[in-house]
Structure 1
């Protein structure tokens, strides 16, 4: 058996996540997950690939989504604070064109105060936008489904067993273990069984690759695709800075997809919305073949 051991929401794309005890699974993923995005003045989304300091911004969103707080830490070793911004979220402001991986969408601009705060902290002109209610993006994959400003499908699921295997391989090369937050999952699962027992597929590393339909809490997920990893995994999420070639160098040795790219974890679309909680059992209703 596998269980939910962490639920993480990222209200602002590219910024820090918040662990939750309970979360509402909506058709577009965890409620308020990646519903805001930082953009350049010409509408192109900002990412830790080029702006690792985004990791130092810790957003908090009210349950009803009407109030957003941005709290900025100084990074590893810092004791001071940059400052806190509190915003009343608007859904009535003018829309503006935004670009996400070359695809055009719309965003609701959250005003000059947010823009000034982000521009100063990131050191480059920036603005904050929110997903509009009329946002109709459908992410592709084996199971397609609605998605906000996530890279692709709405839910990223990763097991502790997969991370344990990676850290074992890193240790063989004298590289320190990496934390789960390098991979920015929404749902982290673990099993009470010994990872080496081999008796339960859900307890094996990368079992999430083969899970095609999952029941968890009051919701249901459908497998979309493997999660292709990028340079964001090189960013120390506590320091807001890039740190060397790992984990991509090691993952490239055993997690390279036939179609190209390094993969780690899996993306899912929401089939049935519902409430999720820490400790919920994760039941795989349908298994498929691994793509690697």
Structure 2
């Protein structure tokens, strides 16, 4: 079955504004520069829109060798993208969910910028090049055992600061079904940005991603290994940071899972050759397992 890649997005700083791409390098760690930076509190624990919805108002760009960060009422912040991290004085341990990993502190100016916006002491960190954060090996091995067609996938997938897996895949038709249900309740439609995907599919049946084993684009293969359980972030307007009850209230009515949680989208792991690129408009073959 052939479908299309209709969107590619990265979020350079975890839980901050994303960047729509036409083309991206892709590998085991996901799309290049996705969730490479993260905001942490004084104890090194990650901060997200869950507790700080104002992070949605932070815009990011990658320009002329810099991560450019802007927000209403704040001066522009420019962070060099590629600096050799050979100074142990800026290396620190940080925590994202249950994982403790090495990171590089981006300095006092960045800390002051984010602290002023969020109203709490915090630091901006970048994933250390020697960081070894690995997606759940047990879950991946279990999934691969049940899907022999993907048996040659690596068991260990090292990635940066995404929640649990290198790639999040969503489907335009699934969003359309959700928006139909919102419209029936007199609620406004929501955009795909509420779900913060990396790869968006089109020409695909609503929620067929739930039953997809592989999405293949040339030599790039994405194995959809785990449904994405949602928190309150989809209720956060990604332009203003305002939070409401939708769309999670409506999603709960038809996407609640017997094992718990409300799902939208699929977490994926990647097998791709060195230097692989993926583009909006690429055709993809999908393998379904109904």
Give the alignment's TM-score, normalised by structure 2: 0.88
Cα distance between partner residues in 2 of 1:29 and 1:241: 29
Q: Which runs of 5+ in 1 are unaligned?
A: 75-80, 192-202
Give the conservation status (yes or no) of the 8 Å contact 1:32–1:61.
no
Once the two structures are TM-superposed, the CA of residue 218 in structure 1 deviates from its matched residue by: 4.5
Structure 1 moving runs of 4+ over 3 Å: none
Aligned pairs for 1:48-197 within 5 A: 48-62=49-63, 67-72=66-71, 74=72, 81-89=73-81, 90=83, 91-93=85-87, 94-140=90-136, 141=139, 142=143, 145-191=157-203
Give the conservation status (yes or no) of the 8 Å contact 2:101–2:132.
no
Higher strand share: 1
Q: Which runs of 5+ in 2 are unaligned?
A: 145-154
Give the conservation status (yes or no) of the 8 Å contact 1:96–1:109.
yes
Number of matched pairs? 267
Cα distance between partner residues in 2 of 1:51 and 1:238: 14
Give the conservation status (yes or no) of the 8 Å contact 2:74–2:113.
no
Q: SS state of the match for residue 15, structure 1?
A: coil
Q: Which residue of structure 2 lines up, in the alignment, with residue 271 of structure 1?
A: 271
What CA RMSD, in Å, does the superposition of the two structures yield over aligned residues? Answer: 1.6
Give the conservation status (yes or no) of the 8 Å contact 1:49–1:232.
yes
- Shift in alpha-carbon separation, 1:259–1:159, aligned structure 2, 3 A: same
Higher helix share: 2
1:39 equivalent in alignment to 2:35: no
Q: Which residue of structure 1 lines up, in the alignment, with residue 148 of structure 2?
A: none
Residue by residue, what CA displacement relative to the aligned partner does 1:98-148 show, whole Å, maximum 9, x if unpaired?
A: 111132222111111111111111111110111111111221243652221
Give the conservation status (yes or no) of the 8 Å contact 1:158–1:187.
yes
